[in-house]
Homo-oligomer: A and B are copies of this chain.
Amino acid sequence: MSYFLKSKRLDIAAGIGNNVVLNTKEAEHLGIHPGDKVSLKYGKSKIVYANVDTSSRIVKSGEIGLFEKVWKRREVKNGDVATVSLEGRPLSVETLKKKMLGQACNYKEFYALIKDISDGKFSQIETTYYAASGFVAPYTDDELYYVAKAMAETGEKFNLRKKVVDKHSVGGLAGNRSTPIITSIIASLGLIMPKTSSRAITSPAGTADAMEVLCKVSFNLEDIKKIIKKTNACLVWGGGLRMAPADDKIIKVSKPLSLESYDKMIVSIMAKKVATGVDYLVIDIPVGKSCKVPTMKLANDIEQKFVSLGKKFKMKVKVVKTPAKEPIGRGIGPALESREVLRVLQQHKFRSLDLENKACMLAGTILELKGYCKKGNGMKIAKEQVKNGEAWKKLNQIIVAQKGQKDINSEEVMKEVFKYEIHAKKSGKITFVDNKNINEVCMNLGAPTDKYSGIHTHVRYGQRIKKDDKLYTMYTSNEERLKLGKMAAENNVIFVIG
């Protein structure tokens, strides 16, 4: 049975999930309780699933109050009549249970589960269990394929009708903002690289967070296709696109733990690539004690899974594994990282050479994988595009196409609002740079939400330093966050002095 209720916009914004408010008495009468799930339908638009809160005054009998996320997305007006139904437990919870017990599932089961997540039928708790299931038992290669395929199938797709190349870093290494550089190099050579990136999951900034400092990153599919037509590339946020939308919801519940399972990570990446229609893919895996992938053995396992999955999707995949002892580049945080990118492309005297080299190496690998040049020549070609300014010209073009400021200078990018320097407590040699502690400090400073928060490092791995030398500078736009950052810095030593 369904009920007809008049919509009332509430100006309340919550974190994750959709919320609606029913009148307390009426909800009781209908047998609906706070925490239950209902579906709302408005005419022919897509069904919304939401959690129920109740109130005896804010919402009258015959009304349904909508939190901001619900009315904004569906453009519901006050008074619009919703058809409201109490929703039972989604059937695919049974598949969820099987995964929690470590049992294998088939494509049909995964498709139904991923579709339920994608449609918003799963509660936050249920989605969290799904995210946790990756830790229970490793997914088989077939299962990884099923999930990635289901994620791609339940969302929008690019369909560019051209050969597409792409690069993806598994992340977890601070800084390492090579993507905009690589994309600019590749596109400047006439290849198609439609780069959709996520925002930060377990790091202080994702490529989308860093790009957002320079231009818009949120576009619909049609606009993105125009940007690609104009520039051979794009550097946009993939989350707003409903490409593999289930993945985005899973990412949200992964954030509080700052820990993805490797299987989930592989699936998440491949799902987006399939939806983007990628033909040639280079995967960058930084390997180091405090990285997302700590050992070479694990990196090899992950490589095998990527290549095997690639074959199933008819995608050529090359995995590059690089030992990582410290961040690539010196800036960590959205604006600090976009400054690093511009410094490299504009060949600024303070640019980070490690970032420049890594980006050119990866761009070269793409060129070789695609067959653009002979093996061994890729990096040279890439470097030339940076030196001769063609790569910067291309990024400038992309920034403008994405409604950003033309000819922005690297030194205009960062705004220093509150800052605080951390100094060495003793003399010695830097024997370890703790990447996880960098993340912890930056997130307490407000990254990635606060674009101008993060750290800039002044010392490198292996360097000899004296007591009281500057180690790094913390930045944030918010005084309260600075206090949290200082506390985090006390508890999380970034530079270990031996």
Contact = CB atoms under 8 A, between A and B. Distances in A.
Interface of A: 1, 10-16, 19, 21, 24, 30-31, 33-36, 51-58, 67, 86, 88-89, 91, 93, 96-97, 100-102, 123-126, 128-129, 132-133, 135-136, 253, 256-259, 443-444, 446, 449-450, 477-481, 483-484, 487-488, 491
Contacts of A481: 31
A256 B125 contact: yes
Contacts of A480: 1, 30-31, 86
Nearest to A56: B11
A436 to B, nearest CB: 10
A64 to B, nearest CB: 13
Contacts of A52: 15
A69 to B, nearest CB: 9
A31 B88 contact: no
A53 B257 contact: no
Contacts of A100: 132, 135, 257, 259
B88 A444 contact: yes
B31 A477 contact: yes
Total identical chains: 2
Given A15-B33, A89-B256, A93-B256, 19 more contacts: A11-B24, A14-B51, A14-B53, A15-B34, A15-B35, A30-B480, A31-B446, A58-B58, A88-B444, A97-B259, A100-B132, A101-B135, A101-B259, A102-B135, A124-B124, A124-B128, A125-B125, A125-B128, A129-B257
B101 A1 contact: no
A430 to B, nearest CB: 24
A481 B253 CA distance: 31
Given A125-B128, A478-B31, A12 B55 contact: yes
Contact of A51 (B15, B24, B488): B15
A88 B488 contact: yes
A53 B10 CA distance: 12
A16 B19 CA distance: 13
Nearest to A36: B15
B125 A253 contact: yes
Nearest to A485: B88
Contact of A136 (B34, B88, B136, B488): B136
A178 to B, nearest CB: 27
A34 B11 contact: no
Contact of A21 (B12, B101, B479): B12
B88 A54 contact: no
Contacts of A56: 11
Contact of A257 (B88, B96, B478): B96
Nearest to A15: B35
30 contacts: A11-B57, A12-B21, A13-B24, A13-B34, A13-B54, A13-B55, A14-B19, A15-B53, A16-B125, A30-B480, A31-B477, A33-B449, A53-B67, A58-B58, A86-B484, A88-B444, A88-B484, A97-B258, A100-B132, A100-B135, A101-B135, A102-B135, A124-B125, A124-B128, A125-B125, A125-B253, A126-B257, A128-B132, A132-B135, A133-B135
Contacts of A101: 135, 259
A21 B68 CA distance: 13
A54 B36 CA distance: 22
A445 B473 CA distance: 60
A1 B485 CA distance: 12
A18 to B, nearest CB: 13
Contacts of A478: 30-31
Nearest to A3: B480
A1 B31 CA distance: 44
Contacts of A491: 91
